[in-house]
Amino acid sequence: METLQNLSLGLSVALTLTNLSWCFIGVFIGTVVGILPGIGPPGAIAMLLPLTFKLDPTSAFIMLAGIYYGAKYGGSTTSILLNIPGEPSSVVTCLDGYQMARQGRAGPALGIAAIASFIAGTFGVLGLMLAAPPLARFALRFAPPEYFAVMSLGLTMVAYLTGKSVVKGLLATFFGIWLGIIGTDLFTAQSRYTFGQVELVDGIDFTVVSIGLFAVAEILVNMESRVKADLFKLPKGLRNLLPKLQDLKDCRFAFVNGTLVGFFVGLLPGAGATIASMISYGIEKAVSKHPEKFGAGAIEGVAAPEGANNSDAGGGLVPLLSLGIPGSNVGAMLLAALYLWGLRPGPLLIHEHPELFWGVVASMYVGNFLLLILNLPLVPIFVQILRLPYFALYPMVLGISIVGVYSVNYSFLDVWLMGFFGLLGYLMRKLHFPMAPLVLGMVLGKPTERALRQSLMMSQGDFTILFMRPISATLLSAAVIILLSPTVQRLSLREKKGPQRV
């Protein structure tokens, strides 16, 4: 009953003309960003972040969230028509979506992708609505030791799950934490690593780092090589885009699978939509009566991953909005945005700003519906974006990056730093250093340090406080187990291989 009352509050916020407009702008930009292979949601959100400072936080969050989940709809279009994923989580959709297009079934492939995205996306929001408030209420019991533990666990999971090398994940995390603590120490007002620059006393702005790492670095990666591909023609008319009744029947399990896998994987920091879509595709293939059809144009092979990567958006917002712990690049940006707008992300956010949480939840229901319209009857119009020459696009992205960074503090140093982080992001990609741990480390660096120092103030310097309280002890133990698991795995593998060598 309370949930329904809160939802009606959310609808009253989301259905105002202003917020409906921001929701539409968000999902529209999201769809475009998803379709364009050259720029992803993190880059788009990073570039738009400075422009949201003048907006009401609820409207701004509705728009940025719209870009986040909207891009997941758009990402399938290029996967199906070009065999190039518009964003990383759509990579699995290429396997069967492109084969369907080759067989002349591009319309039903796009249709089922939109329908699966809508169903899973909507249920993902339902999960967010039901899971986040109780989790936030539970987290109200948290004191600094628990906050330190939960942030440590989040950072560990992100370092462990993103990328293939734990060492690189950890290095990125700690480098991010170091970037986050540059500036004035909160407790003693001493300057740290400011290099004598007054502009660094308040630290390096998150926008500067994120635009450099995502927008500029993305352009540099794309400058290396351009993949030329032929765009499949789309059938005309909505009827030809809609899947047949048999297609929908075939995808029944895929809808459920995608929704559940996407939501639960989304809850885990660091796992992300790409892993969710891969797992759901694997499950779908494993339980299928015709696994041999997968990879050759099975419609379930499009529905399951597309559902999973949309449901993941709802799951990913649960820890972000209830605990203040982001699980991905985009989550880190949304968290940074909440700080920039002067809000306090964490368990009190839902209690102190119910209009924001419930407004965003309600807007996501509306947004998913808008996206269904944008991605079914209007998809032929969006496809025309792919005909835009890249040489006209990337200078604009670089220009928006410069203007976006400069407009934060009107500082030339910020623009220089953005250029530096652009190169850093490019080199990180070349060397397979994951980005998510760096941005999460940067966002959570100061709060983690604050929680640790407050914990030790509580215990008068006794570190055992972190292990004597049940919740923090459990969370920290989980973090230690995660950290040690690769070593344990390696040792057990060596033991198994040992006798064979002899």
Partner 1 sequence: MTKGDVWAGLILAGLAIFIIQQALVLDYFSEYGLGPGFLPLWLGIVIFTLSLALIGIRILGRPEAFENEGGTSAGTGRALATWGGLMLAIALLNVLGFITSFVLLTFLLVLVMDRRSPSTSMVVAVGGALGFYLVFSAILGVPLPQGPWGF
Binding site for partner 1 (CB under 8 A): 51, 163-168, 170-171, 174-175, 177-178, 181, 185, 187-188, 190, 192-193, 216, 219-221, 223-225, 390-392, 394-396, 398-399, 402-403, 406-407, 410, 412, 415-416, 419, 422-423, 426-427, 429-433, 449, 452-453, 456-457, 460-461
Provide the minimum distance between the beta carbon of 126 and partner 1 in the complex, in angstroms, as a whole number.
37
Q: Provide the angle, in degrees to the nearest 10, between the axes of the packed helices 329-340 and 300-323.
A: 30
Provide the minimum distance between the beta carbon of 237 and partner 1 in the complex, in angstroms, as a whole number.
35
Closer by beta carbon to partner 1, 118 or else 175: 175
Task: Determine the Cα–Cα distance for residues 185 and 210; give it in Å rounded to an integer.
Answer: 22
Provide the minimum distance between the beta carbon of 221 and partner 1 in the complex, in angstroms, as a whole number.
7
Provide the minimum distance between the beta carbon of 459 and partner 1 in the complex, in angstroms, as a whole number.
9
Provide the minimum distance between the beta carbon of 59 and partner 1 in the complex, in angstroms, as a whole number.
16
Provide the minimum distance between the beta carbon of 388 and partner 1 in the complex, in angstroms, as a whole number.
12
Return the residue matching tokens 């605990």: 323
Contact (CB, 8 A) for 154 and 400: no
Closer by beta carbon to partner 1, 224 or else 292: 224
Strand partners, 184: 191
* Of residues 246, 338, 474, 415, the one with CA closest to residue 45: 338
Closer by beta carbon to partner 1, 237 or else 486: 486
Contact (CB, 8 A) for 80 and 98: yes
Provide the minimum distance between the beta carbon of 172 and partner 1 in the complex, in angstroms, as a whole number.
10
Residue 490 CB neighbour total at 10 angstroms: 10
CA atoms within 13 A on the CB side of 19: 26
Provide the minimum distance between the beta carbon of 421 and partner 1 in the complex, in angstroms, as a whole number.
11
* Of residues 16, 28, 106, the one with CA closest to residue 66: 28
Closer by beta carbon to partner 1, 220 or else 229: 220
Closer by beta carbon to partner 1, 270 or else 422: 422
Contact (CB, 8 A) for 234 and 382: no
* Of residues 84, 82, 85, the one with CA closest to residue 72: 85
Closer by beta carbon to partner 1, 171 or else 473: 171
Provide the minimum distance between the beta carbon of 434 and partner 1 in the complex, in angstroms, as a whole number.
10
Closer by beta carbon to partner 1, 427 or else 468: 427
Task: Determine the Cα–Cα distance for residues 447 and 445; give it in Å rounded to an integer.
Answer: 6
Backbone φ, ψ for residue 184 (5° rounding): -85, 135
Residues 6+ apart with CB under 8 A from 500: none
Provide the minimum distance between the beta carbon of 278 and partner 1 in the complex, in angstroms, as a whole number.
18
CA-only gyration radius of the chain, Å: 23
Q: Three-state DSSP class for 183? A: strand
Closer by beta carbon to partner 1, 13 or else 215: 215
Closer by beta carbon to partner 1, 138 or else 390: 390
Return the residue matching tokens 């809808």: 255
Return the residue matching tokens 């985009």: 330
Return the residue matching tokens 């907006």: 55
Backbone φ, ψ for residue 401 (5° rounding): -60, -45
Identity of residue 407? S
Q: Three-state DSSP class for 489? A: helix
Provide the minimum distance between the beta carbon of 216 and partner 1 in the complex, in angstroms, as a whole number.
7
Closer by beta carbon to partner 1, 49 or else 116: 49
Closer by beta carbon to partner 1, 325 or else 465: 465
Contact (CB, 8 A) for 461 and 135: no
Closer by beta carbon to partner 1, 181 or else 318: 181
Task: Determine the Cα–Cα distance for residues 270 and 25; give it in Å rounded to an integer.
Answer: 28
Residue 113 CB neighbour total at 10 angstroms: 32
β-strand 191-192 against 183-184: which pairing, if any? antiparallel
Tokens of 478: 């989980």
Closer by beta carbon to partner 1, 42 or else 441: 441
Return the residue matching tokens 């059809």: 293
Task: Determine the Cα–Cα distance for residues 355 and 61; give it in Å rounded to an integer.
Answer: 11
Q: In this structure, what DSSP letter does residue 204 have?
A: -
Provide the minimum distance between the beta carbon of 185 and partner 1 in the complex, in angstroms, as a whole number.
4
Tokens of 100: 């369907």
Provide the minimum distance between the beta carbon of 286 and partner 1 in the complex, in angstroms, as a whole number.
27
